[in-house]
Amino acid sequence: MRKDQARPVRFLLGDEPRELSGLDPNMTVLSYLRRVERRVGTKEGCGEGDCGACTVVLGEVEGDRLRYRAVNSCIQFVGTLDGKQLLTVEDLAAPDGDLHPCQQALVDCHGSQCGFCTPGFVMSLFALYQEPGPADRNRIDDALAGNLCRCTGYGPIAAAAKTMKAIGKPDRFARHAKQTIAALRKLDDGAMPQLEGDGRRYFAPRSVNALGQLLMQHPGATILAGGTDAGLWVTKQLRQLDPVISVGEVAELKTITVNDRWIEIGAAVTYADAMATIEAHHPDMAAMMRRLGSEQIRNAGTIGGNIANGSPIGDSPPPLIALGSRVVLRRGDRYRELALEDFFLDYGKQDRQSAEFLVAVRVPVADPKRILRCYKVAKRFDQDITAALGAFVLTLDGSMVEDIRICFGGMAPVPKRARQTEAALNGKEWNRDNVEAACWIISEDYTPITDMRASARYRLRVAQNLLRKFFIETTEPTIRTRILAERRAAHARA
Ligand SMILES: Cc1cc2nc3c(=O)[nH]c(=O)nc-3n(C[C@H](O)[C@H](O)[C@H](O)COP(=O)(O)OP(=O)(O)OC[C@H]3O[C@@H](n4cnc5c(N)ncnc54)[C@H](O)[C@@H]3O)c2cc1C
Ligand code: FES
Ligand code: FES
């Protein structure tokens, strides 16, 4: 079949092939499982990606191996299943009834009471089980942070994770990986998956050229990446999206390339896939990203979506802007590039024309002269939306500030640089007096609002204190400013 030809959405449910037609493409994977397949093991809690009760695992072929990742089925649209293996809690026990090691460990460790959260935990544990090697306490915490339990408490569940990893032998999914890979490859003929039902349409073009053309034909379409924002428009705002054009199958948008100047991250690269490269160049940004959403959100969500949604509290724009990142956009077959900070025009308004899409973000590579720190302030450590986020990039010439770039999220209608504060510091000595003086200028750069996450006064105070913290971290490294990071390091050593 030709690449520009359309075909139905195809995937494996467990080991059984499925082909979808006539379904509303706004249907979530959770609704599909419960209403169409009558698989009711997967539960609905919040319907917005927060509680993890709906967690399922998706298997995908990566090179010559199978990779399993947990996602929230409540905010994934059915069309995105194309080419994947969908596993739910019903798939895990062997045909003779033997429990999967992750289920058995949960039983043995008394990790379930009312059981409502349990299928979601089981699927997160299952995804963790498939990862090679042992899992330390940090890895277990990360893998489970997107699952909430109101009655058992997390101790027994974390103990189950540790116990099952100690078993660690290949399960029947690992033993059948070759057959699963062959079955998944058989589904893929290179053509474009399409779904149409209830008068609504979904397209998943396979190339950037096809995406450009489709968007020119449907300039009002909703562009879909990981769906961790767009999914909620349907489940919470009850909007009907038509047509939806997914960037998730566009090979060119799923790549990361590194040259001597830029890390170029394709717009459809997930946080999970970008993490290792960002960690290698900008470890403080990677540490912040570990607190962005949950494992399930990072497995689906993209930096491209975080930029394109234009939110003033998106976590990736402030460090990207402070680093001097640029975005590449395309409309039809024409490309343009601009500084990321110029992409954000006003609240809900970005420099993006209709039918134009984000191709990639270009992030400067690590430079030993430049120090990046970024600080996310939210009410909870894990899985919480930011109240304020400060990102600082400093280049010193001896004790003098050669260049400082400061960008805050949560302080203005868009992620915004603190230009006046920067001007007060550039060319000056990097010392306490100058930093103290600059702290008072932050209020000239920002007029934050009061909302449910924080008051305007709190935000301003936090912004000043983050600048002070940055100063301390760059001048007095023996002062302990990262207590939680120290605790994580201790967990990793234990
Ligand atoms: C439970 C939960 C927790 C979250 N926690 C955080 C958090 O801690 N920090 C944070 O910053 N965000 C958080 N988010 C928000 C969300 O996960 C991020 O904004 C994510 O990066 C969105 O990416 P996506 O790929 O899922 O985008 P989508 O939802 O697919 O799309 C988001 C927007 O971008 C547009 N878009 C996507 N790709 C393109 C493209 N290539 N070209 C043009 N437009 C495009 C879409 O049309 C849409 O307007 C959370 C969300 C949930 C549900
Ligand atoms: S139902 Fe709560 S995360 Fe999906
Ligand atoms: S066992 Fe009841 S919510 Fe977790």
- What pLDDT is recorded for position 334? 97
Ligand number, closest to the Cα atom of 115: 3
CA atoms within 13 A on the CB side of 431: 6
Q: Is pLDDT of 493 > 80?
A: no
Q: Is pLDDT of 368 > 70?
A: yes
Look up the CATH architecture of domain 101-170.
Answer: Orthogonal Bundle (1.10)
Ligand 3 within 6 A of 117 CB?
A: yes
Ligand 1 within 6 A of 295 CB?
A: no
Q: Is pLDDT of 234 > 80?
A: yes
Q: Is pLDDT of 1 > 70?
A: no
Q: Is pLDDT of 2 > 80?
A: no
Domain map of the chain by residue range?
6-90+176-246, 101-170, 251-364, 370-483
Nearest residue by C-alpha to atom 2 in ligand 3: 114
The answer to whether the bond into 243 is cis (omega within 30° of 0) is: yes
Ligand 2 within 6 A of 50 CB?
A: yes
Phi, psi dihedral angles at 7 (to 5 degrees): -150, 165
Could you give the CA distance from residue 315 to residue 289 in angstroms, rounded to a whole number? 8
Could you give the CA distance from residue 174 to residue 130 in angstroms, rounded to a whole number? 8
pLDDT, one tens digit per residue, over 19-38 is 999 999 999 999 999 999 99
Of 169-173, 229-233, 402-406, which range is least confident? 169-173
Ligand 2 within 6 A of 299 CB?
A: no
Q: In one letter, which amino acid is 277?
A: T
Cα 376 to middle of ligand 1, angstroms: 17
Ligand 1 within 6 A of 193 CB?
A: no
Higher-pLDDT residue of 135, 3: 135
C-alpha Rg value of the chain to the nearest Å: 23
- Tokens at 318, concatenated: 């402030």
pLDDT, one tens digit per residue, over 381-403 is 888 999 999 999 999 999 999 99
Average pLDDT over residues 353-381: 96
Q: Is pLDDT of 444 > 60?
A: yes
pLDDT above 70 as % of the chain: 99
Average pLDDT over residues 61-82: 97
- What pLDDT is recorded for position 168? 74
Average pLDDT over residues 39-64: 97
Q: Is pLDDT of 44 > 80?
A: yes
Q: How confident is the model at residue 6 (pLDDT cuts 50, 70, 90)?
A: confident
Q: Is pLDDT of 4 > 80?
A: no
Ligand 3 within 6 A of 53 CB?
A: no
Cα 173 to middle of ligand 3, angstroms: 27
Q: Are the C-beta atoms of 245 and 223 separated by less than 8 Å?
A: yes
The closest of 294, 302, 240, 298 to 53, measured between CA atoms, is 294
Q: Is pLDDT of 256 > 60?
A: yes
Ligand number, closest to the Cα atom of 226: 1
Ligand number, closest to the Cα atom of 51: 2
Q: Are the C-beta atoms of 28 and 224 separated by less than 8 Å?
A: no
Could you give the CA distance from residue 300 to residue 316 in angstroms, rounded to a whole number? 15
Q: Are the C-beta atoms of 268 and 325 separated by less than 8 Å?
A: no
Phi, psi dihedral angles at 140 (to 5 degrees): -65, -45
Q: Is pLDDT of 113 > 70?
A: yes
Q: In what order do the strands lie in the sheet with 370-377?
A: 370-377, 388-397, 400-409, 416-417
Helices (H), 152-258: 154-167, 172-175, 177-187, 208-217, 230-235
Could you give the CA distance from residue 436 to residue 397 in angstroms, rounded to a whole number? 20
Could you give the CA distance from residue 2 to residue 191 in angstroms, rounded to a whole number? 6
Ligand 1 within 6 A of 229 CB?
A: yes
pLDDT, one tens digit per residue, over 118-176 is 999 999 999 999 999 889 999 999 999 999 999 999 999 999 999 998 887 889 999 99
Q: Is pLDDT of 3 > 60?
A: no
Which of 29, 42, 54 for mutating ligand 2's site (highest number of atoms within 8 Å of CB)? 54
Ligand 1 atom closest to Cα of residue 146 = 1
Could you give the CA distance from residue 248 to residue 260 in angstroms, rounded to a whole number? 27
- What pLDDT is recorded for position 170? 87
pTM attached to this predicted model: 0.96
Average pLDDT, rounded, for the chain: 95
Average pLDDT over residues 363-375: 97
Q: What is the CATH number of domain 370-483?
A: 3.30.390.50
Cα 88 to middle of ligand 2, angstroms: 14
Q: In one letter, which amino acid is 139?
A: R
Q: How confident is the model at residue 75 (pLDDT cuts 50, 70, 90)?
A: very high
Could you give the CA distance from residue 358 to residue 20 in angstroms, rounded to a whole number? 29
- What pLDDT is recorded for position 486? 81
Ligand number, closest to the Cα atom of 110: 3
Residue for token pair 């979506």: 305
What element of type H or E holds 256? strand 256-258
Cα 148 to middle of ligand 3, angstroms: 8
Class of domain 6-90+176-246: alpha beta
Q: Is pLDDT of 5 > 90?
A: no
Ligand number, closest to the Cα atom of 415: 1
C-alpha 374 chain-centroid distance:
17
Specify burial of residue 410 (Cβ count, 10 A radius: 0-12, 13-18, 19+).
Answer: buried
Ligand 2 within 6 A of 293 CB?
A: no
Q: In sequence order, what are the beta bridge partners of 390?
A: 375, 408
Could you give the CA distance from residue 215 to residue 308 in angstroms, rounded to a whole number? 15
- What pLDDT is recorded for position 39? 98
Q: In what order do the strands lie in the sheet with 9-13?
A: 16-20, 9-13, 85-87, 55-62, 65-72
The closest of 402, 400, 432, 407 to 421, measured between CA atoms, is 407
Residue for token pair 């089980």: 129
Q: Are the C-beta atoms of 111 and 140 separated by less than 8 Å?
A: no
Of 82-86, 257-261, 479-483, which range is least confident? 479-483
Could you give the CA distance from residue 11 to residue 292 in angstroms, rounded to a whole number? 29
Ligand 2 within 6 A of 74 CB?
A: yes
- Tokens at 345, concatenated: 């025009």
Specify burial of residue 156 (Cβ count, 10 A radius: 0-12, 13-18, 19+).
Answer: middle
Nearest residue by C-alpha to atom 3 in ligand 2: 49
Q: Are the C-beta atoms of 427 and 395 separated by less than 8 Å?
A: no
Nearest residue by C-alpha to atom 36 in ligand 1: 305
Ligand 1 atom closest to Cα of residue 224 = 30
- Tokens at 234, concatenated: 């349907």
For the segment(s) 251-364, the CATH number from 3.90.1170.50, 3.30.465.10, 3.40.50.300, 3.40.47.10 is 3.30.465.10
